[in-house]
Chain A
Amino acid sequence: MIAIEGVSRTFAGRRGGEPVQALRDLSLAVQEGEVVAVVGASGCGKTTLLELICGLQQPDGGTLRGGPAALMPQRDLLLPWLSAVDNATLALRVQGVARQRAREQAAPWFERFGLGGFEQARPYELSGGMRQRVSFLRTLLSGKPVLALDEPFAALDAITRAEMQGWLARILGEQQRTVVLVTHDVEEAVLLGDRVLVMSPRPGRVVADLAVDVSRPRQPTDAAVVELRARALDALAVKT
């Protein structure tokens, strides 16, 4: 679904400063129906990678095939003047689907996502976890073949985050979607990903590719999860 080979991306320095190389010789491939979690420290070019996958930026060198993906931003970024259902169907409306048809399309998902009865609620009437679920649904309903999740739960409190990770793991188990999940939380990556890619500090490239052969649902305390987490942390630490 996505094949990135030897991609580099450099930004011009600010006010005549040194140019910043965000990504160097980065390669990764995402198969259909696969959930790939990308972990790395802050400033390792994760956001650049995500924007490349979403078609918001073009690489300077190398090739990028597949995508573009639909983005689920870090903050929910729901539009406060729209109801939950109209937020969820934003991409459909942009594609020209009539309001009523778009709402009908979203209705079963509200039940499935535990949002039943909240279709007409305004974002400020929803909890942080619910807003994030509406945000995910908005990305899902865009119909794009790949979903790009940018630290989707980073802004939530620890308890809600754990709940949402469990929820997303369940949804991804049922749905078989192609997902690129970018996070700085190694545990989240191991809990949600079929594969965990570890990125080096800037200029970012993939330094470890760990397959997560653990059946879902996974617990943070599972021996295999703990072991993979240690390996991912190892890969991160070696390069710092």
Chain B
Amino acid sequence: MRRWLLPLAAIVVLLGIWELYVTAAGVNSLVLPSPVDVFRALADDRGTLWHNFKPTAAEIVLGMAVGAALGLLLAVALHFWGVVRLAFYPPLIASQAIPIPIVAPLLVLWLGFGLLPKLVVVALVCFFPIAVTTLSALGTVDPELIKLMATFDASRWQTFRRVELPSALPGLFAGAKLAAVFSVLAAVIAEQAGATSGLGYLLTVTESNYEMSELFATVLVLAALAILLFGLLTLAERRSLPWVHRQRETETR
């Protein structure tokens, strides 16, 4: 109960302060709409919001899937070959400094206005945190466990498949949770670079029309999407890696 009630109470309090401020100070709704206006827009425009939610959600889910696969592959490659790690880790970090708002329009130019350039942007943003956390998890496997496998005559690949890869799954999930939050931003930026639908597209339209309540309602949907993705990943982690949770409990006894 506390897990649901506490964040809910925090949101209600914050909205209350916001509402109080807007009405008491008489803020122009073109500058900052009140929460009541935003929720009214949310209800009135639910059709439009839902219509634009679907392509954005698709971009994020597909982009994250591609990004996670790339991130995992990259982490494994860097883990297996020290030379590759030495050679490619610095340029990889450098690649993350390239601002996505610069890359996104180029991708639209190259790949058109469809799903593909958004998917690429989301994947580009997602793969890095997933690769880093997975690589670090692969590197922190108990060395005694590696020795044990060696006395069982396990090959490098068998040690990887039976010990290292399962040990690294919590790291993969940690990266995916980070990526889930970033991916929402990435999808918005990608859509603002050129799209005909999606929540990012909706932001561009409502902003240029000075429809502030509608703009904020769209942001609210994006925030809900980020929480939903994070929550689903947390649930999936608990389901597929029950030992992570249970072990933490026994260790902190």
B contact residues around A164 at 8 Å (CB): none
A contact residues around B151 at 8 Å (CB): 54-56, 68-71, 142, 144, 148
Count: A-B pairs, CB below 8 Å: 60
Residue interface bits A27-45, CB-to-B below 8 A is 1, else 0: 0000000000000000000
Main secondary structure of the interface of B (DSSP, over half): helix
Q: What's the minimum C-beta distance from B167 to chain A, rounded to whole angstroms?
A: 8
Whether B246 pairs with A142 at a CB distance below 8 angstroms is no
Contacts of A180 in B (CB 8 A): none
Interface size class of A (residues with CB under 8 A): 20 to 34
* Contact (Cβ within 8 A) A94 B243: no
Q: Which of B144, B152, B158 contacts A142 (CB 8 A)?
A: B152
CB < 8 Å: which of B148, B154, B247 contacts A80? B247
> Which of chain B's residues 140-158 have a Cβ closer than 8 Å to chain A?
142, 144-145, 147-154, 158
CB-CB under 8 A from B246, the residues of chain A are: 80, 122, 124
A175 at the interface (CB under 8 A from B): no
Which residues of chain B from 197 to 223 have a CB within 8 Å of any chain A CB?
none
- On whether the beta carbons of A73 and B148 are closer than 8 Å, the reply is yes
Q: Are B166 and A79 in contact (CB under 8 A)?
A: yes
CB of A155 closer than 8 Å to a CB of B:
no
Chain A CB within 8 A of B76 CB: no
CA distance A144 to B162 in the complex (A): 20
Is A81 in contact with B243, judged by CB distance below 8 angstroms? yes
Task: Let me know if B28 is at the binding interface, CB within 8 A.
Answer: no
Q: A56-B151, A122-B243 are in contact. List 15 more A-B contacts (CB 8 A).
A: A54-B151, A55-B150, A56-B150, A70-B151, A71-B147, A74-B144, A77-B144, A79-B162, A79-B166, A80-B243, A94-B152, A94-B154, A124-B246, A124-B250, A142-B152
- Measuring CB to CB, which residues of chain B are less than 8 angstroms from any residue of chain A? 142, 144-145, 147-154, 158, 162-163, 166, 241-244, 246-247, 250
Q: What are 17 A-B contacts defined by CB distance under 8 Å?
A: A51-B147, A54-B150, A56-B150, A71-B147, A74-B144, A77-B145, A80-B246, A81-B166, A91-B152, A94-B149, A94-B154, A94-B158, A95-B152, A95-B153, A122-B242, A122-B243, A123-B243
